[in-house]
Amino acid sequence: MAIRTILHYPDPRLREQAQRIEKVDERIRTLIDDMAETMYAAPGVGLAATQIGEAVSLFVIDIADEDEPSDLRVFINPEIVVKEGKLKYREGCLSFPGVSEDVERAAKVTVRALDRDGNTFELTADGLLGVAIQHENDHLQGKLMIDHLGLLKRRIVHRQMTKRDAD
């Protein structure tokens, strides 16, 4: 396992579309382990492969509190099949260090994906898990948290991140 470098906005690789994973093999399981270690070290609750420069359709999430056992969830080739309701949630992102903004998303989602072993599963989630699934799934499509903001807030965050890069 290895801690990978997390790409920060405005790195253009964050806009890449992830490619479907055709075979869940040892290379993919090693990538999952690296992503989990990177996410925990950051620390964060989710990480998409595109955030570490791997343009494959994979993300990991663990929303367990610090005093709870780890609950790592792996989503390979995820597809959100149902969205219900609306919810505003204050989100952060490992690719936008120090930034948190209110983002409107579906209140509840059902996602279909493959697990670490390549088995298909379906999960319905709301709250933080539902938000995290939508957030990480956006990354796989090259869509970022900033894209959910109004024009003024988007410009402010863009300036903040580009200034941070220059420092």
Q: According to the 3-state scheme, what is the secondary structure of the chain? A: CCCCCCCCCCCHHHHCCCECCCCCCHHHHHHHHHHHHHHHHCCCCEEEHHHHCCCECEEEECCCCCCCCCCCEEEEEEEEEEEECCEEEEEECCCCCCCEEEEEECCEEEEEEECCCCCEEEEEEEHHHHHHHHHHHHHHCCCCHHHHCCHHHHHHHHHHHHHHHHC
What are the pLDDT tens digits along the chain (167 aa)? 799 999 999 999 999 999 999 999 999 999 999 999 999 999 999 999 999 999 999 999 999 988 899 999 999 999 999 999 999 999 999 999 999 999 999 999 999 999 999 999 999 999 999 999 999 999 999 999 999 999 999 999 999 998 876 66
Q: State which residues form the domain around 140.
A: 12-166
Residue 1 within a domain: no
**4 belongs to a structural domain:** no
Of the residues 54, 91, 101, 136, which is catalytic? Answer: 136
The pLDDT value given to residue 67: 87
pTM: 0.96
The count of structural domains within the chain is: 1
CB-CB neighbours of 120 under 10 Å? 10
pLDDT at 167: 62
**101 belongs to the catalytic site:** no
Q: What is the model's pLDDT at position 8? A: 97
Indicate which CATH number applies to the domain containing 65: 3.90.45.10
pLDDT given at position 164: 75
pLDDT score for 3: 97
Residue 2 maps to a domain: no
